[in-house]
């Protein structure tokens, strides 16, 4: 008899557990209802290095908008969901944000695998994703707005700039997935047109930190410049080991940022080049104020990088779109409001290209000095049209 009671109680507990896992719906109290948006970032998984930066940027933007009066007097309320760097979970959380929390739009995801997992969810449910990270392009969706830079906004300018500076032999290196491969493919095209040569092309397993065989190959092929799209731990380890080997070629990276520079130390990054759309040291009044605000607000060791700026721009664009739309709760109107939307950002005046939902961004090249700071030495005259 006791057994059965025990079992019955367990069943009840189970049922309760299942239903409790469903969570309660967060109902908005009466009065002017806030506008709900979702923040879908992984702060607890292996990609949290980048995602924390994106998250900080977005949060800063939303806080600014709320401080300035919100959307016609209505606050923007953010619903945060953590997906632990697991694309399947990202899709689940996106579904939850859309169906359960009824957000107007989602800002978030970082890696392409997470974005591609979320893509069908926002498309089937006719919602909206603002994707803040730089990625490989080659994608288009009516339900996604991409605010990070894509290869054509980096490769053409960077490769030709390097060729003009006298670098001829390029050694291409990246992690083994689609982003570096697309970047390298573009680089090879521009090299051919510009008279440069490919000294070598290597892909390392994602997350690998052992570059001994790669460094030997580099030594053998004697390039002028290492054209790198390494990311994460691999990127950090590469700079350090490259410095230890003391090889002469300069490193030119499409992915390094100020946080990475802090991790590798002043010596390892010295004189290397970086090409992205934003640096902390961009000189304009809006950016100086932004950097000051960022360093005052966040003390978690992150720097204002192009990832932060991507997240910030995403939040700012969304805020503008919400204001422009007649009904900020109507996702379709908000999505339509993004076309050719322009904002004044610390990275310059940038706008969304309505034909492909990507952002026109400035291209900037920086050189790292002996104190480990990235100083902007080239800035494109106007924002570059994205061609995904």
Partner 1 sequence: MTRFAKIPAARYLDLALFLALGLFPLTGLMFYTQLLQKYMVFLIFAYSLDLLWGYAGLMDLGHAVLFGMGGYLMALSLSARSGVPEFMARYGVEQLPAWLAAIVPEPAAVLAGILVPALFAGLLGRFLFFSRVGGVFFSVITLALAQAFNLFIQSQQEYTGGFNGIGGLPGLSLFGRPLTLAQGYYLVFGLVLLVYAFCRGLTASRFGLVLRGIRENGARLEFLGYDQARFKTAVFAVSGALAGLAGVLYAPVNGMIAPNDVGMEFSTAAVVWLAIGGRGSLTGAALGAMLVNVLGNALSEQFGAYWQLLLGAALLAVVFFAPQGITGVLPRPGARSSPGKAAGKRA
Partner 2 sequence: MESFAALLLNGLNSSALILIAALGMVIICGLMNVINLAHGELIMIGAYTAYGVTQSLGYPFFAALPAAFAVTAAAGAAMERLVVKRLAGRPAETMLATFGVSVVLQQLANVAFGAQSKYVAIPIDGKLAFGKVVVPFYNLFTILFVAAVTAGTVLLLHRTKFGKRVRAITQNREMAECLGIDSSRVDTFTFAFGSGLAGLAGALAAPVKTVSPFMGGPYLVNSFMTSVVGGVASFFGTSAGSLLVGESTALIGGVSNDVLANILVLLLIIAAIRFRPEGLFAKERR
Report what 21 binds from partner 2, partner 1, none; CB cut-off 5-8 Å by kind: partner 1
List CB contacts of 201: < 8 A, sequence separation 6 or more: 171, 172, 173, 184
Q: Tell me the angle at which helices 232-245 and 212-221 cross, rounded to the nearest 10 degrees.
A: 50
Quick one: which of 264, 260, 300, 288 has its CA closest to 347? Answer: 288
Regarding 213 and contact with partner 2 (CB under 8 A), the answer is yes
Of residues 42-61, those binding partner 2 (CB under 8 A): 44, 46, 48-49, 52
- The binding track of 348-387 with respect to partner 1, each residue x by CB under 8 A or -, is ----------------------------------------
Regarding 233 and contact with partner 1 (CB under 8 A), the answer is no
Report what 88 binds from partner 2, partner 1, none; CB cut-off 5-8 Å by kind: partner 1
Q: Which long-range contacts (CB under 8 A, 24 or more apart) does 241-245 make?
A: 241/211, 241/212, 241/215, 242/211, 242/215, 242/268, 243/267, 243/268, 245/215, 245/219
Contact residue for partner 2 among 264, 318, 361, 368 (CB under 8 A): 264
Residues 111, 114, 120, 125, CA torsion sign: negative
Residue 240 or 360: the one with the smaller Cβ distance to partner 2 is 240
Per the DSSP assignment, residues forming a β-bridge with 343 are 350
Contact residue for partner 2 among 205, 288, 295, 371 (CB under 8 A): 205
Regarding 17 and contact with partner 1 (CB under 8 A), the answer is yes
**Hey, how many other C-beta atoms are within 10 angstroms of the C-beta on 29?**
6
Regarding 17 and contact with partner 2 (CB under 8 A), the answer is no
Q: Pick the stretch among 18-26, 161-169, 211-219, 236-244 that binds partner 1 (CB under 8 A).
A: 18-26
Q: Residue 77: left if φ>0, alpha if ψ -120 to 50, beta else—which one?
A: beta
**Hey, how many other C-beta atoms are within 10 angstroms of the C-beta on 215?**
16
Report what 72 binds from partner 2, partner 1, none; CB cut-off 5-8 Å by kind: none
Residue 46 or 286: the one with the smaller Cβ distance to partner 2 is 46
Report what 263 binds from partner 1, partner 2, none; CB cut-off 5-8 Å by kind: partner 2
Residue pointed to by tokens 């409790």: 20
Q: How far is the CB of 286 from partner 1 (least distance, A)?
A: 30
Report what 213 binds from partner 1, partner 2, none; CB cut-off 5-8 Å by kind: partner 2
DSSP letter assigned to residue 326 = S
Q: Pick the stretch among 86-94, 214-222, 267-275, 374-382 that binds partner 1 (CB under 8 A).
A: 86-94
Regarding 202 and contact with partner 2 (CB under 8 A), the answer is yes
- The binding track of 187-206 with respect to partner 1, each residue x by CB under 8 A or -, is ------------------xx
Of residues 250-279, those binding partner 1 (CB under 8 A): none
Coil, strand, or helix at residue 191?
A: helix
Regarding 84 and contact with partner 1 (CB under 8 A), the answer is yes
Distances (CA, A) of 321 to 1, 152, 256, 312: 64, 26, 30, 14
Residue 73's Cβ-side half-sphere holds a number of Cα atoms within 13 Å equal to 3
Contact residue for partner 2 among 168, 169, 217, 324 (CB under 8 A): 217
Coil, strand, or helix at residue 310?
A: helix
Report what 84 binds from partner 1, partner 2, none; CB cut-off 5-8 Å by kind: partner 1
221-260 burial by CB neighbour count: b if 16+ within 10 A, else e?
eebbbbbbbbbbbbbbbbbbbbbeeebebbbbbbbbbbbb
- The site for partner 1 (CB under 8 A) is made up of 2-4, 6-8, 10-11, 14-15, 17-23, 43-45, 80-84, 86-89, 91-93, 95-96, 99-100, 112-113, 116-117, 119-121, 138, 176-178, 181, 205-206
């Amino acid at each position: 008899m006791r057994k059965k009671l025990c079992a019955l109680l367990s069943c009840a507990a189970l049922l309760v557990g299942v239903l409790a896992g469903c969570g309660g719906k967060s109902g908005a109290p009466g009065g002017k209802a806030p506008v709900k948006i979702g923040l879908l970032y992984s702060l607890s998984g292996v990609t949290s290095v980048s995602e924390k930066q994106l998250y900080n940027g977005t949060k800063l933007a939303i806080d600014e908008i709320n401080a300035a009066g919100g959307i016609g007097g209505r606050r923007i309320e953010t619903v945060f969901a953590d997906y632990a760097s697991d694309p399947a979970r990202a899709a689940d959380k996106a579904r939850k944000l859309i169906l359960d929390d009824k957000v107007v739009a989602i800002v978030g995801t970082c890696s392409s695998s997470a974005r591609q997992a979320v893509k069908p969810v926002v498309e089937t449910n006719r919602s909206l994703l603002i994707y803040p990270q730089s990625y490989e392009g080659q994608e288009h969706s009516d339900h996604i707005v991409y605010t990070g830079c894509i290869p054509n906004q980096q490769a053409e300018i960077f490769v030709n700039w390097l060729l003009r500076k006298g670098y001829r032999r390029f050694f291409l290196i990246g992690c083994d997935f689609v982003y570096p491969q697309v970047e390298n493919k573009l680089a090879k095209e521009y090299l051919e047109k510009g008279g440069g040569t490919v000294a070598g092309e290597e892909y390392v397993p994602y997350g690998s930190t052992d570059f001994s065989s790669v460094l030997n190959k580099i030594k053998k092929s004697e390039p002028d410049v290492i054209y790198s799209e390494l990311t994460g731990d691999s990127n950090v380890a590469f700079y350090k080991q490259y410095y230890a080997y003391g090889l002469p070629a300069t490193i030119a990276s499409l992915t390094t940022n100020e946080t990475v520079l802090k991790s590798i130390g002043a010596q390892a990054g010295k004189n290397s080049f970086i090409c992205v759309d934003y640096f902390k040291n961009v000189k304009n009044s809006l950016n100086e104020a932004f950097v000051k605000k960022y360093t005052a607000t966040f003390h978690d060791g992150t720097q204002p990088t192009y990832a932060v700026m991507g997240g910030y721009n995403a939040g700012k664009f969304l805020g503008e779109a919400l204001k422009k739309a007649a009904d900020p709760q109507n996702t379709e109107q908000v999505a339509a409001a993004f076309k050719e939307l322009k904002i004044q950002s610390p990275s310059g005046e940038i706008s969304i290209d309505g034909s492909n939902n990507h952002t026109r961004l400035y291209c900037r090249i920086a050189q790292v000095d002996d104190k480990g700071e990235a100083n902007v030495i080239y800035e494109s005259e106007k924002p570059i049209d994205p061609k995904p």
